[in-house]
Structure 1
């Protein structure tokens, strides 16, 4: 028994870092090439108009679509105000974005931002805790805000300017 050798564990030399890096780079190139090829083959082109008249009509439609595109104007700061409630008063913070149509309306909304902020703060501060605690109450507040902003801007500019008001942040403590 003493003559028998105990089996020894042999350790295979680890692959070098250079081999590992080459494998990783090759895999990345294959994946990148596959994604790039897919993007090239999947991207379609619009067919060219058959006549110059159709091309001019398409350009006119594109211009009309850009003029009527929905644009969003963010108010520079969140509205923070107190709201009276039965058990206790609450502090409310609302972040607002205005949806307008076309770059003219966007310019008017940005130009009259102080008027819009003042009007929104007046409408918001008339709300109650009970109203702001429900989804229906928040929707009514948003609807009232849109109507009041449209009324004020129509008096000033002759256009309603704002199509919709979006609450992008709403916190009540």
Structure 2
């Protein structure tokens, strides 16, 4: 009887040891993963570093990030090889600072016109792929920035976000 109790106790110690080792491996793996995630690539140039003027510069991020939604979704037809498709895109603009928020709200019809210009030049075959969606989003950002720079003298918009994308 004493031998049976001893065997049960030893089996419990092995299970506890396996659980402790597994927890330690998970914690260490999580710590290493967190380190690499937080220390990920810093795209900002170092002080004194020479920057190629040909590279596209992003507007400096200062102030609170604010999101301005376009008042209505963009609904339009796009031609495709097989058939034409109907697309609906809901758009929000990420801007920084309250003064930029007021500027963008003042010029929403102008921004809508710039976005419609980009959307009308697309085709269904491109919008089906993730690369095509990313390309139209990047083109939208460039067009909105250029439009706002012509009006206000500065690039007000930091990002163009598609919060809804439906294609039928």
What band does the TM-score fall into relative to the shorter chain?
0.5 to 0.7
Is there any run of 5+ residues in structure 2 with no aligned partner, and where?
Answer: 1-61
Q: Distance in 1 between matches of 2:70 and 2:146?
A: 19
Q: Distance in 2 between matches of 1:133 and 1:89?
A: 12
Report the equivalent of 1:94.
89
Equivalent pairs, count: 107
Q: Distance in 1 between matches of 2:78 and 2:134?
A: 17
Structure 1 residues 1-173: aligned runs within 5 Å: 68-173=63-168
Q: Distance in 1 between matches of 2:158 and 2:94?
A: 6
User: What is the RMSD of the two structures over their aligned residues, measured on CA atoms?
Assistant: 0.8
TM-superposed deviation, 1:125: 1.0
What secondary structure, in the 3-state scheme, does the structure 2 residue paired with 1:127 have?
Answer: coil
TM-superposed deviation, 1:75: 0.3
Q: Distance in 1 between matches of 2:99 and 2:77?
A: 34
Query: Larger C-alpha radius of gyration, 1 or 2?
Result: 1
Q: Once superposed, which parts of structure 1, at least 4 consecutive aligned residues long, lie more than 4 Å away?
A: none
CA offsets, 1:56-96, max 9 Å, x none?
xxxxxxxxxxx611000000000000000011100000000
Q: Distance in 1 between matches of 2:117 and 2:142?
A: 13
Q: Distance in 2 between matches of 1:111 and 1:159?
A: 15
Q: Distance in 2 between matches of 1:137 and 1:167?
A: 13
TM-superposed deviation, 1:100: 0.1
Scaled by the length of structure 1, what TM-score is found? 0.61
Q: Distance in 1 between matches of 2:125 and 2:63?
A: 38
Q: Distance in 1 between matches of 2:114 and 2:67?
A: 18
TM-superposed deviation, 1:153: 0.6
